[in-house]
Structure 1
């Protein structure tokens, strides 16, 4: 895909409307994870240093078109200021007279944060009037919120049609990483997909079987595939109603020349609790009164063998219930192997999805992957092969 980046933009003197994603986790009024703010800052800093007048807009939480004080973006102005090491002004609305006056008062290099776009019902409806109100504030539009690009909202797609539009550095990095993962990857490509339910990842599995050389299935969704093959799964979490679908996916993969790698051994326990008594059993030996909560060491060895032959890895979802020890063993083991292969230059590793990011942080390797996406739903929809409206709006015709 060809898309415009800020390399093609001279921002000096221009009012730049920058779509950010400041929907960061907050607890008791405090930001608990500033990753998105830190990743956004280089784009703001670059545009401001080049003389742009930066106007930042974002959504936060789900106020459903109403003003909800605890969902105000005002506290984010302080966090942005600390990250940028420069003042960040705040406007109490994202459109209208107050926003227009604040935007007009900006000098070169100054930064303004607008109030939550979702305080307006028109945001999620992609209301043309709201998009026009946002466009009125600026001369150009820069989208640096890939994580919101799967939504056709006024501040992601609507305004992009009204102003000259560009991808910010974070958006650019996401798009390049995803192109390297599935668009034009170095082969062989291995995909690891974990998680609880086959039913929530049907589109993902279907798309990957057509795009990758090896598809590794872990997590509780692997239980469904194993049960569909006739293996007894005891009390393991699985979806009995998805057995036919699982068999169809296996057939589709075979027809496409994609190897599906399922677990060959499992770590089982009688209860899902921290550090219970566990056993490692073959997939056809799960006791009736026990449940599979992680894959076993033989499976890890098989996965690592495939990775050593691979050039590209796409990872979405853990192998087991990694939040509860010892069921983090497989995820941590594979993650550390991936980090080593990445460091050696043998493997390009792209990972994303909330649980995946948390698992990689838990394993201590989140900063040792080629790229870790914080985009969540947008990352998943891209892997599913879907068109993202916020990205499509940036494409060069």
Structure 2
């Protein structure tokens, strides 16, 4: 894992201006945030800097304004939600650089927190314009990145700014990088990966990277149907990318060559219609799927066998559900395997790291979010990390 400076490396920061990149891209409903998980994640960093006497300026994007100002995409929209989580009053600053920011810093007392406006109101953010990054950096004494979720973007406030200021990883970033390193960077073997979701096409790079790094690759969701079809199984009217069966075969050959066992379901839960508890639902062997049926979950026998696989492993990386978990009874396999992983983690025999939007929702649905080692809410950045890509925002922090 690359070495990087953390808040522990900061000296006396009383009266210093901390520019802190956070993720405030919150889901909104009726004018307020419907989920403040991302704010909870950065709360320790913000409060630690505040309590040590720094003037804290938060940098964040909100939505995709495309380099133009938009009142509904101003970070002022989420200031109230952030105040609620932090338990502190914040100053909203409607710029990211220039005289208004300078004057605001003069008004802030040591320990106060300000929120700068949406960094993406300026095209220089997504262009990673060095002049834009330098203009923002001019207001700070040091920079902290606590937004792993934006680390796969080489933007001015994630990468460019690090060329102009001493840069540190915040507590959430530090925790994320350590968890990811324990899962794929320097894991304890045997390692299992669960990769689910609808389409092979969206996870091709993930699968190609994993076959050379894990001992067990468990494939679920709609993408398992493409792999089953590649093995000559008739999957009926299941979601299946038939044009990618050759690719699936190549991945399985690669896995075989690398000593990685690919696990596909041998019994499945099928139905004729995609609806909650449909009358046509039944469990069958994968070779017994009728032409008018679709595979919607892994069957109970295969699920139990997958649980036995996890019991032989020391590390688990999970991205994507095993079935259509949002509709009962097609959540059964995901819930059962998640509970097995959680129990093994609690016993101390498994390090379990999970990430991606659907995965976070699936673990919450199974009631085990608190029982796995680490849950990443990063989405795209987590996926790119699973693909083995170097993340610009992380590389920029490397000491």
* TM bucket, shorter chain: over 0.9
The separation in 1 between residues aligned to 2:217 and 2:105, in whole angstroms, is: 49
CA deviation map 1:231-289 (0-9, x unaligned): 00000000011000000000000111111111111100000011102111111111111
Does the Cα contact within 8 Å between 2:32 and 2:78 map onto a contact in 1? no
Tell me the CA shift for residue 100 of structure 1.
Answer: 2.2
The separation in 2 between residues aligned to 1:347 and 1:191, in whole angstroms, is: 12
Instruction: Tell me whether 1:303 sits opposite 2:306 in the alignment.
Output: yes
Instruction: Tell me the SS of whatever aligns to 1:123.
Output: helix
Q: 2:344 aligns with which of 321, 341, 344?
A: 341
Tell me the CA shift for residue 373 of structure 1.
Answer: 0.2
Instruction: Tell me the SS of whatever aligns to 1:95.
Output: coil
Aligned residue for 1:226? 228
Aligned residue for 1:327? 330
**Equivalences for 1:246-261 in 2 at 5 Å?**
246-261=248-263
Tell me the CA shift for residue 75 of structure 1.
Answer: 2.9
Aligned residue for 1:4? 5
Structure 2 alignment gaps of length 5 or more: none
The separation in 2 between residues aligned to 1:262 and 1:101, in whole angstroms, is: 61
The separation in 2 between residues aligned to 1:356 and 1:103, in whole angstroms, is: 40
Aligned residue for 1:292? 295
Q: 1:393 aligns with which of 387, 393, 396?
A: 396
Instruction: Tell me the SS of whatever aligns to 1:76.
Output: helix
Tell me the CA shift for residue 176 of structure 1.
Answer: 0.3
Aligned residue for 1:373? 376
**Equivalences for 1:1-397 in 2 at 5 Å?**
1-10=2-11, 11-277=13-279, 278-396=281-399
After the TM superposition, list the runs of 4 or more consecutive aligned residues in structure 1 that deviate by more than 6 angstroms.
none
The separation in 2 between residues aligned to 1:101 and 1:322, in whole angstroms, is: 51
Tell me the CA shift for residue 133 of structure 1.
Answer: 1.5
Tell me the CA shift for residue 76 of structure 1.
Answer: 2.0
The separation in 2 between residues aligned to 1:206 and 1:233, in whole angstroms, is: 23
Tell me the CA shift for residue 160 of structure 1.
Answer: 1.1
Tell me the CA shift for residue 86 of structure 1.
Answer: 1.6
Tell me the CA shift for residue 230 of structure 1.
Answer: 0.4
Instruction: Tell me the SS of whatever aligns to 1:22.
Output: coil
Instruction: Please identify, of 140-149 and 359-368, the stretch whose mean Cα deviation from structure 2 is larger.
Output: 359-368
Does the Cα contact within 8 Å between 2:32 and 2:81 map onto a contact in 1? no
Does the Cα contact within 8 Å between 2:58 and 2:114 map onto a contact in 1? yes
CA deviation map 1:101-123 (0-9, x unaligned): 21233221110100000111111
The separation in 2 between residues aligned to 1:123 and 1:377, in whole angstroms, is: 18
Structure 1 alignment gaps of length 5 or more: none
Aligned length: 396
Tell me the CA shift for residue 215 of structure 1.
Answer: 0.5
Tell me the CA shift for residue 77 of structure 1.
Answer: 1.9
The separation in 2 between residues aligned to 1:76 and 1:190, in whole angstroms, is: 39
The separation in 2 between residues aligned to 1:20 and 1:100, in whole angstroms, is: 20
The separation in 1 between residues aligned to 2:382 and 2:366, in whole angstroms, is: 21
Instruction: Please identify, of 214-223 and 98-107, the stretch whose mean Cα deviation from structure 2 is larger.
Output: 98-107
